[in-house]
A and B are shown apart, each in its own frame.
Chain A
Amino acid sequence: MKQATFHGGIHPSYFKEFTSHKKLIQSNPPSQVILPMQQHIGAPCEPIVKKGDVVKLGQKIGEPKGFVSAPIHASVSGKVVAVEPRLHPDGRKVLSVVIESDGLDTLHEDIKPQGNLESLSPEKIRDIVGEAGVVGLGGATFPTKVKLSPPPEKKIDAVILNGAECEPYLTADHRIMVERAEDVVYGLKALLKALDVQKGYIGIEDNKLDAIEAVKKAVGNDANIEIYSLHTKYPQGAEKQLIYAVTGREVPSGGLPMDAGAVVQNVGTAVAIADAIKIGMPLVERVVTVTGSVIKEPQNLLVRLGTPFKEIIDQCGGFAKNPGKLIMGGPMMGMAQFSIEVPVLKGTSGILALDEEEANVPDPTPCIRCGKCVNVCPINLLPLYISAYSLNDAFDKAEEYHALDCIECGSCSFICPSRRPLVPSIRVAKREILAKKRKAK
């Protein structure tokens, strides 16, 4: 087993102890699910059911439009009660299919095992993964099928499973590796076959020794799969940092992992792929870590997609005190929510509730040029300058300082003693630069 890491990064408090030893538990079946037609990066789906239709569990209800897209399936059986825009965790209203559960979970007849891995061709695996609506479950929600279909000129020679889970608080991937190690490895083998690659890697942060042990056992003496114990440091799980830690290669600026010959998938995604092949079950459920100082009983729950946050939180005993902030995902890159009525999506790795004090956003003071943001940036950017240029509307200068290469990991904002709004201002710069580029075309 190899020990690996990357340059830069930070050591936030992890708070994983709330849930790291809590077994995965099936959440109560929801009475109603809200399934937005946008649960992945890329073009939204088009609903193929209408109000009044009766649907079965696992039935496709959203058809992908465009190459970068993934179908959406019913996560309960029952009746479609609405097809209308509903509040989405990203803050907008998005066309959603709302299904009233009949409590029966009647399985759709298409759902059946797809045969064993040896008998499946690479094309067939890609199709199964695509049809099952699998997307990157780490939070980025990039459609997996697209990653499995690299252009022929890109030579892929490494498939890396991301078990770093470097975000504080989150333990979903950790529990998946401990409890479903066999399927993690099965999923990796399916990925290797689909991409016709020999070498598979699994990177796990060294604060999850039980996960490393479990996965090691599942790998057995398969010489083609290597486990990397990764230094516990944020953002160890960022694609570029992981690729560097494992292969020593850098993804070119402006490029994709495949430009470095690598495909990265989250461990949860591998399990979803295993389910899609072994049972034939599309992605209708995922593990969500429900945690934070104001959640009464933090848990790792297996949640049906479309379940409102509120129901999930209630199952965890509700709020111990008034929450100040509710976050979808982890505290470093997650998205703050206005409402607890939004549904769990394919990309919901965690529901994190912070108390009012933790939610307090301190006022920024002038930059003291301490250079700490420079030292922690894993991309080697100069966040203080990009941010200053952005705040002065000097977006050309921000571009010169490589604003577009920022992976928005938040390390710079985390460390800044002056509480500068570094990431938000860099995001603004990125948006402006891209808008200008589009115009120029």
Chain B
Amino acid sequence: MSDMFLTASSSPHVRSKEDVSIIMRDVVIALLPAFICSIYFFGMKALTLTLVAVLVAVGTEALIQKLMKKPITINDWSAVVTGVLLAFNLPAGAPWWIALIGSVFAIAIVKHAFGGIGQNFMNPALAARAFLLASWPTRMTAAAFTWPGGADAVATATPLELLKGAEGVVGELPSIASLFMGNVAGTIGETSALALIIGGAYLLYRKVITWRIPTIYIGTVAVLTFIFGQDGLFTGNVLYHLFAGGLMLGAFYMATDYSSSPVTPRGQIIYALGCGIITSAIRLWGGYPEGVSYSILLMNVAAPLIDKYTMPKIYGEVKANA
């Protein structure tokens, strides 16, 4: 017994079993319902795009870490999450190489050029989406949106474009039910509000995310789009704004991205409010029909500053100053 080797590390001596890979795996699990819906509505194209994006994301991460002689961390599942989210932001009509380029950009530039996991100040999938949108606008918008189940070549307007009544856009607004289920045009992962909400509830249940960012973001959009309706104040079509476009995907899965959102409770509230206000402003008055991506990216940039000025009141602080 004298040759016993005792570890003398510092307290605490027990730790929660949850590690980064368990969290990221939970995110992947939460994305499964939307993934299944995407295949149901958009067919093989959705499957191919997602597979390409995930494989390239994981491969790029492994390659970069190998080249930089860093430990390879692909089994933490974070690259898988980025791949899935990127694919979810692509229209079904996008060619496979768009997924490939987007994934390389997300992992190599947005994630690793800034130091890897936890260091990127923008959501990699969203930054990649913005990059793709700027580089191949026609491959990423209208022309590439297909009506689910329809013939591939038939491009259609998204519900938000219809709602906005943009020039040259014709078509019937889909019913709230198909909007909720996801049987509408849009990027492959964003259309089914139902599937995204189920996954979001799972994330909340597993405490991967807290209620603050998604509920305040969604709530702000609901309130603002109701107030500033098309037919005057307080006439907005709230359900349309909630279930159409990328709001659910953005609010539950992208605005909550750890690296690029604030960690303080008050900071998260301000950040979510900001996302909601910008999204509503773009949708109501901006040049684009959709504002989710840009609002999150803009608030990502502000996140470090928000954190800095929203340090929580610590236990015992007020009375010390009194």
Contacts and interface: CB of A to CB of B under 8 A. Distances in A.
Interface of A: 7, 10, 12-13, 91, 168, 240, 244, 250-255, 319, 322-327, 331-340, 352, 354, 358-362, 365-371, 374-375, 378-382, 384, 401-402, 405, 408, 410, 413-419, 421, 423-424, 427
A333 B11 contact: yes
Given A10-B16, A12-B16, A325-B6, A368 B118 contact: yes
Contacts of B261: 369
Nearest to A400: B311
B7 interface: yes
Contact of B258 (A10, A335, A368): A368
A20 B317 CA distance: 38
A418 B76 CA distance: 10
Nearest to A354: B13
Leading 5 A-B pairs by shortest Cβ distance: A410-B12, A371-B263, A252-B320, A253-B316, A253-B320
B11 A332 contact: yes
Contacts of B118: 366-369, 418
Contacts of B7: 324-325, 336, 359-361
A362 B18 CA distance: 12
B14 A250 contact: no
A336 B118 CA distance: 31
A374 B12 contact: no
B15 A413 contact: yes
Interface in B1-37: 1, 4-16, 18-20, 22-23
Contacts of B10: 336, 421, 423-424, 427
Given A374-B265, A402-B314, A250 B319 contact: yes
B309 interface: no
Given A252-B316, A255-B316, A414 B311 contact: no
A244 B319 CA distance: 13
B266 to A, nearest CB: 11
A368 B20 contact: yes
Contact of B320 (A244, A255, A414): A255
Interface of B: 1, 4-16, 18-20, 22-23, 73, 76, 78, 115-119, 210, 258-259, 261, 263-265, 268, 307, 311-320
Given A251-B315, A371-B263, 16 more contacts: A240-B315, A255-B320, A336-B6, A336-B9, A337-B6, A338-B6, A368-B259, A369-B118, A369-B258, A369-B263, A370-B263, A374-B264, A374-B265, A381-B312, A384-B263, A414-B16
Contacts of B12: 331-333, 410, 413-414, 423
A417 B9 contact: no
A319 B6 contact: no
A332 B14 contact: yes
B260 to A, nearest CB: 8
B259 A335 contact: no
B7 to A, nearest CB: 5
A428 to B, nearest CB: 10
Contacts of A413: 11-12, 15
Nearest to B315: A379
A122 B307 CA distance: 51
B6 A323 contact: yes
Given A362-B15, A369-B259, A254 B320 contact: yes
A417 B316 contact: no
Contacts of B23: 368, 370, 417
A378 B5 CA distance: 34
Contacts of A323: 4, 6
Contacts of A370: 23, 258, 263
A415 B16 contact: yes
